Amino acid sequence: MLLNGTETDVLIIGAGVVGSALARELSRYQLRVLLVEKEVDVAFGTSKANSGIVHSGIHDHPGTLKAKLCVEGNRLYPQMAEELNVLYKQNGTLVVARDASECEMLGQLVNQGLLNGVSGVQVLGREELHRLEPNLNPDLAGGLLVPSGGIVIPFDLVYALVENAVANGVQLAVSTEVWQIRWEGGQFIVETNRGMVKTKYIVNAAGLGAAKVAGMIGDESFTIYARKGEEYLLDRRLEGYIQRTVFPLPTPESKGILIIPTVEGNIMLGPTAHRVDSFHDFSTSAAGWDEIFRFTQRLVPGLQASDVITSFSGLRAAGDTGDFIIRPSELNTHFIHVAGIESPGLTAAPAIARYVVELLEDAGLRMTAKRFFNPYRLVVRIRDLSLEDRDRLAVKCPAYANIVCRCEMVSEGEIRDAVRRGATTLDGVKLRTRSGMGRCQGGFCSPMVMRILMEELGLKPEEVTKNGPDSPLLFGNLRDNPSCPEKD
């Protein structure tokens, strides 16, 4: 897609959860909005490898943007998830204490929560704690229960936000990298690999690239560091083994290594939190696993290394201020930074979106609400349907009765939908549908998903990739194919 000459009111750089939430929020108004993403798909950066926790807000320092937007974001989640048909669950957060001295420290967290506006926090004694979660280490002395803590599938949310934004008129351009920005005649001229864009406002939601993008207008007011978090996903056989997200007591550096039940019924262990120099290093390590396993064994001793079905790592974009950096650039008020969105960024995203709308309005952008804004996104998930509904759907569209991924029960219809919804790669299909995310990790379904990608997008075998042009899955056909494209 060429953008040459596109004129827009707001250009959002970066289609992670923040850029996407903002795009959706702006799509409520009569505005031209362009959302650009340098990767081949949305959610392919930091948002892909997030822990998926909807934080309650007890962990953040009172008075910070983090605290304010986390608590607000948390309150916005139920409605947003409902509207967007996103997998979200308020499963509750537990902070556990190992001994009496740690129990005392729980009190400080309760106070912090109160200051931040977190309500309903309960202090649990040993017995109550173990009654709620019988598989916790019996040595744990007590804990806190925060009922508003939740879980969400982070990339599912990003796809939903973007799809809904696009349905409401936002223009999306993936594989689009911003190269240069200059201010000229009261607007920005933005050079990208796909041509030039003119825009009145820019929102810099570029994640790890935010400092670089800021530098394009000469703004060097902050630095972004990459903090790596490794996560390990366990087999769904353990569904329900731990029901609430389990936190240790936080340290000054991090919220610690957690036990996270996912909405889909897996248990996830992680993350580590180590600063790394590279913005491209998504590797996991034996040391990372050792750290996570040793730590989580102390909380839930019954978890086994053999239950791991996959692992991944993400790079969090951390700023240098200790807080989110959400403000207009000092050099140009039409350029809004949304940078350093580390934890609790996923939770805060819907609140950040609203906050940025205010900042844009303050900077002079006129916000006129659209008469028709459709807040809903529909998506078929066979797994969530009753047997009767599945059968009814199959009569209308047989592809929904053809199961391609048996581990996660994903049908051919859902995979074709995912491609039509914007997936162009194996990972794009996987993140949208969960196909290949189960215990066999795509061993069975990936050849079929590759075929569907080829059919739907008219790709040659060598054009099918895992997550972009540098990741080819195949090197053409084994034989020169003399055949006509007849299907058997």
Partner 1 sequence: MKEQAIDIAVIGGGPAGLAAAIAAAKAGVERIVIFDRQAELGGILNQCIHNGFGLRYFKEELTGPEYAARFIAQLAEYPQIEVKLETMVVELTADKQLITTSRRDGWNLYQAKAVILAMGCRERPRGAINIPGTRPAGVYTAGTMQRLMNIEGFRPGNRAVILGSGDIGLIMARRLTLEGIQVAAVLELLPYSCGLNRNVVQCLEDFDIPLYLSHTVVEICGEGRVTGVKAAPVGSDRRPILERSFMIDCDTLVLSVGLIPENELSREAGVQMEPSTGGPRIDTGCRTSVPGIFACGNVAHVHDLVDDVSEESRIAGIAAAAYVLGEESIANGQKRVKVVPGRNIRSVTPQEIVAGEPSALYIRVAFPERDVVVTAGSHRSKHRIVTPGETVRIVLRPEDIDFNAGVLPVAVEGGEVNA
Partner 2 sequence: MRELTCIVCPMGCRIKAYEEKGQIRVEDHGCRRGELYARDELTAPKRVVTSVVTVQGCSELLPVKTAAPVPKEAIFRVMEEVRRVVAKKPVRAGDVLVENIAGTGVALIATKHIQ
Q: Which is nearer to partner 1, 286 or 484 (CB)?
A: 286
- Residue 378 touching partner 2 (CB under 8 A): no
H or E segment to which residue 12 belongs: strand 6-13
User: What residues contact residue 29 under an 8 Å CB cut-off, 6+ apart?
Assistant: 357, 367, 368, 369, 370
On the question of a cis peptide bond just before residue 344, with omega within 30 degrees of 0, the verdict is: yes
Among 127, 184, 277, 388, binds partner 1 (CB under 8 A): 388
8 Å CB contact between 38 and 91: no
Give the residues across from 308 on adjacent strands.
234
480 near partner 2, rule: CB under 8 A: yes
Q: Applying CB under 8 A, which of residues 100, 369, 378, 395 lies at the interface with partner 1?
A: 395
E strand or H helix at 326: strand 325-328
306 makes contact, choosing from partner 1, partner 2, none, with CB < 5 to 8 Å by partner type, with partner 1
* CB of residue 454 to partner 2, shortest distance in Å: 11
Question: Is residue 484 at the binding interface for partner 1, with CB under 8 A as the rule?
Answer: no
For partner 1, the binding residues in 261-280 under the rule CB under 8 A are 280
359's CB contacts (< 8 A; 6+ apart) are: 326, 327, 328, 336
Judged by CB, which is closer to partner 2: 100, or 484?
484
Compute how many residues bind partner 2; rule: CB under 8 A: 11
* Gyration radius of the chain over CA positions: 23
DSSP 269: E
Out of 127, 184, 470, 488, the only residue in the binding site for partner 2 (CB under 8 A) is 488
Q: Which regions of 158-251 does DSSP assign to beta strands (E)?
A: 171-173, 178-184, 187-192, 195-204, 225-234, 245-247
**Does 458 contact partner 2 by CB under 8 A?**
no
44 is a site residue for partner 1 (CB under 8 A): no
Q: How far is the CB of 402 from partner 2 (least distance, A)?
A: 18
Stretch of 38-46, 94-102, 247-255, 395-403 lying at the interface with partner 1 (CB under 8 A): 395-403
Residue closer to partner 1 (CB basis): 375 or 461: 461
274 catalytic residue (yes or no): no
Q: Which of 78, 18, 73 is nearest to 42 (CA)?
A: 18
Which positions from 219 to 238 touch partner 1 by CB under 8 A, shown as an x/- string?
Answer: -------------xx---x-
Residue among 89 and 451 whose Cβ is closer to partner 2 = 451
Region 53-82 residues binding partner 1, contact defined as CB under 8 A: none
- Tokens linked to 207: 């994640």
The item of partner 2, partner 1, none sharing an interface with residue 480, based on CB under 5 to 8 Å by kind, is: partner 2
C-beta of 371 vs 487, nearer to partner 2: 487
- Does residue 468 bind partner 1 (CB under 8 A)? yes
Q: Say whether residue 484 binds partner 2 (CB under 8 A).
A: yes
| Burial degree of 434 (CB within 10 A; 0-12, 13-18, 19+) | buried
**Exposure string over 83-103, b if 16+ CB within 10 A, otherwise e:** ebbbbbbbbbbbbbbbeeebb
Q: Is the CB of 470 or the CB of 486 nearer to partner 2?
A: 486
**Segment near partner 2 (CB under 8 A), from 21-29, 142-150, 416-424, 476-484?**
476-484
444 binds, among partner 1, partner 2, none (CB under 5 to 8 A by kind): partner 1
Question: Scanning residues 404 to 423, which ones bind partner 1 (CB under 8 A)?
Answer: 406, 409, 412
487 counts as binding partner 2 under rule CB under 8 A: yes
Of residues 1, 54, 53, 46, the one with CA closest to residue 19:
46
Sequence-distant (6+) residues with CB within 8 A of 406 are 438, 440, 444, 445
In Å, how far are 380, 401, 416 from 412, measured between CA atoms? 11, 8, 6
Site residues (CB under 8 A) for partner 1, limited to 300-359: 305-306, 308-312
Binding test (CB under 8 A) with partner 1, winner from 117, 381, 390, 457: 390
* d(C-alpha 353, C-alpha 76), whole Å: 11
Instruction: Between 184 and 480, name the residue whose CB sits nearer to partner 2.
Output: 480
Closest distance of CB 39 from partner 1, Å? 12
Buried b (16+ CB within 10 A) or exposed e, 273-284: bbeeeebeeeeb
Residue 271: cis peptide before it, omega within 30 degrees of 0: yes
Range in contact with partner 1 (rule: CB under 8 A) among 30-38, 75-83, 167-175, 398-406: 398-406
- Whole-angstrom Cα distance, residue 146 to residue 257? 18
Give the nearest distance from C-beta 487 to partner 2 in angstroms.
7
Letter for the amino acid at 440? Answer: C
DSSP symbol at 61 = P
Residue 485 contacts partner 2 per CB under 8 A: yes
Q: Is residue 403 near partner 1 by the rule CB under 8 A? A: yes
Interaction site with partner 2 (CB under 8 A): 478-488
Active site residues: 55
Q: Which residues bind partner 1 (CB under 8 A)?
A: 232-233, 237, 280-286, 288-289, 305-306, 308-312, 387-388, 390-391, 394-395, 398-399, 401-403, 406, 409, 412, 426, 439-444, 446-447, 450-451, 461, 465-479, 481
